[in-house]
Amino acid sequence: MAQSTSRVSATPSDRKPGAPVILVVGDSLSAEYGLKRGTGWVALLERQLQQGKHPHQVVNASISGDTTSGGRSRLPALLKQHQPAIVIIELGGNDALRGLPLNMTRDNLATMARQSREAGAKVLLLGMEMPPNYGARYGQEFREVYTTVAQEHKTALLPFFLKDVGDLADPTKLFQSDRIHPNEAAQPIMLGNVWPELKKLL
């Protein structure tokens, strides 16, 4: 997934004092890659929280192209700076696309979950799945990375972040021309997948 800059939705200067923070640490799927600003699922989440009268504010620390190693290295400073009540971890897809070892991905996600919980935050892990051409065995082992981390570190888990987006019969319908990044029409569906699990943590 292509490189891009980070997308921080709320900074300490414009955050309401005392408002609980939801920190999103992800890759291009959360960083509005190829989308108009304000149309990604994280921006839609901000609006949904406001409409529902939730006091939470969202900090989107996602970077397109990021891996679990990148997220792991960035997380301690983010936890210290933002002191989040909830951390949403949306990473791992780029690890697989780059052929990185699954045990490394699992270790990085586990470390991020542990550090977040030690900082007093609840954790929601957004799971991913690989396309069929990666093979059934690899696909199963990749799914198990997320379930194992969630079970061992007692985090909330959304098994497949791109449900009803990445598993459609027509792979072009909800994706940009690169067939990797979801388009604007997919963003409400992605939020719809996240919301039921996130709502339990609010």
Q: Which of 45, 37, 4 is nearest to 202 (CA)?
A: 45
Which residue type is seen at 139?
Answer: G
Q: Which residues contact 13 (CB under 8 A, 6 or more apart)?
A: none
Residue whose tokens read 């992605």: 190
Q: Do residues 64 and 3 make contact, with C-beta atoms less than 8 angstroms apart?
A: yes
Q: Is residue 181 among the annotated active site residues?
A: yes
Which of 28, 62, 64, 116 does the annotation list as catalytic? 28
Sign (positive or negative) of CA dihedral 71, 74, 75, 78: negative
Among the options 6, 73, 164, 178, which is catalytic?
178
Q: Is 164 a catalytic residue?
A: no
d(CA 51, CA 125): 24
DSSP 8-state class, residue 16: P
The values of phi and psi at residue 98, to 5°, are -95, 0
The one catalytic residue among 9, 56, 64, 181: 181
Active site includes 178? yes
> Active-site residue numbers?
28, 178, 181
